[in-house]
Structure 1
Amino acid sequence: MKDVLQGLLARPTTKAVGDAAEDRALAHLRRAGLLLVARNYRTPGRGGGEIDLVMRDRDTLVFVEVRRRSRGDHGGAAASVSPLKQRRIVFAARHFLLRRAGAPPPCRFDVVSVEADGVQWLRAAFDAGR
């Protein structure tokens, strides 16, 4: 029993694993020249959305969803960004933009997939729709 408890306590939490994936994604994007604007931006209230990373790529504001998977089957991490998740990210992006002064800059939605075999960056992975 003691060994089982020690094993459970030694495992990182889901949040810690997610934070580590975001750290890897952020480092990858910074190496590519993007600048961090905000991290873990959340809209107020329930049912809103969250954006893992808001980055600047020259004149473009980039809203980044970071996905982590321990295995690549079922399409991998990037394939797990469902239409519902996309709508929530777009909602949060609109909220973020409304809080900024002036005209909104060009924007795009990227997905960074962090998997056991590395990091994959999908630029313009989805759009805001209409």
Structure 2
Amino acid sequence: MITVARFSFPHEAYIAKASLEAAGIDSFVADEHTINMQWLYSNAMGGVRLLVREVDLDSAVELLNTDFSESVVYQESQLGIDHCPNCGSDKLVPFTQGKKPAFIVFILLGFPLFFYKHGYRCEQCGEFTEKVK
């Protein structure tokens, strides 16, 4: 087994391990328990290591260095709405209204009150629209 990548935290290594296993490359995560017990040692130990067989090294490096961001396709149909009802703009972004007041209530009272809403905010006029189901 040879180290193909190093990570600061075990969850990062497991994401990479899942990518490799999806491609049929066997891998092993090393030093995860030590880092979980004492995460301050992560840099001193070289982090959590992701190991693969030597014959799979080139394939694993190529897969881990591949940028899949172009594969993500944004579709307006996923939003449920295609334009702002206020100004007609199509520049909508996911937004959660009421997160800050909910956080302040949690800090002051010590327990959460969930009174926020998920939806979309128009980048042009700032109008909030609730999610359409």
TM bracket (short chain): under 0.3
The structure having more radius of gyration, on CA atoms, is 2
Higher relative contact order (CA 8 A, sep 6+): 1
TM-score by length of 1: 0.23
| Structure (1/2) with the larger helix percentage | 2
